[in-house]
């Protein structure tokens, strides 16, 4: 059976059951369990060090009231980066290339930051819709523009994550197909294409981590505006 270029982004099924939920939950099995021992293993020490440094970095610009989000933001970061990296392995499925899944992450969390702002500081939250010193004739136009930009934020979060990961997977597939096609006809070109694909794979490893970090960072900035 010949697969299409975009078939890799379809959710896999087994006996008619979608495996998307398993693909989301399975990575958590890979993490080492917390231990009460004084001396931990290398994997657990590396995991704790990563979580500690990331939590410090992401909460640095936030005030004390937003620090209660530390657990949620850290879990989200670990979940996204794990799903992104595991999706680069052969014969695997990347759930974060699915726009509905990413929107399911983005919309509720963005809405929570907006609700917190309206509840704790409604005047300041509504004041973001109208910049200070705006000329009177431009007030209605700017309110509409700022309102639209506010509601576009969750879509920007989801689309950015989906587009960057999907584009990388498509480029890797195109280069791998070209390498297999050229290996019998023009092997020097095939070797060059394979080297480019290897470099692109390394780039995708960086993109997988960067996009997860950008997703959480932007969410923390939205939280900073409303706390």
Nearest C-alpha neighbor of 164 from the set 87, 92, 49: 87
Cβ burial, residue 215 (10 Å; 0-12/13-18/19+)? buried
Confidence of residue 108 (pLDDT cuts 50, 70, 90): very high
Q: Give pLDDT tens digits for 121-166.
A: 878 777 777 777 777 787 788 888 888 888 999 999 999 998 888 8
Q: Give pLDDT tens digits for 152-161.
A: 999 999 999 9
Q: Where are the domains of the chain?
A: 13-31+43-226
């Amino acid at each position: 059976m010949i697969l299409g270029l975009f078939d890799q982004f379809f959710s896999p099924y087994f006996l008619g059951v979608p495996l998307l939920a398993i693909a989301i939950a399975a990575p958590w099995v890979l993490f080492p369990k917390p231990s009460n021992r004084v001396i931990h293993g290398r994997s657990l020490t590396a995991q704790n060090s990563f979580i500690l440094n990331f939590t410090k970095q992401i909460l640095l610009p936030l005030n004390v009231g937003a620090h209660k989000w530390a657990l949620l933001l850290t879990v989200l970061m670990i979940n996204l980066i794990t799903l992104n990296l595991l999706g680069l392995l052969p014969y695997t499925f990347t759930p974060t290339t699915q726009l509905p899944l990413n929107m399911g992450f983005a919309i509720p969390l963005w809405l929570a930051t907006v609700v917190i702002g309206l509840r704790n500081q409604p005047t300041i939250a509504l004041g973001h819709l109208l910049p200070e010193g705006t000329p009177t004739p431009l007030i209605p136009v700017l309110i509409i523009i700022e309102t639209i930009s506010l509601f576009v934020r969750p879509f920007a979060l989801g689309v950015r994550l989906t587009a960057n990961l999907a584009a990388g997977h498509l480029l890797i597939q195109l280069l791998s197909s070209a390498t297999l096609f050229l290996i019998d006809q023009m092997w020097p070109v095939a070797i060059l294409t394979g080297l480019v694909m290897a470099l692109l794979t390394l780039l995708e490893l960086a993109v997988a981590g960067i996009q997860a970090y950008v997703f959480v960072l932007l969410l923390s900035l939205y939280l900073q505006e409303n706390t």
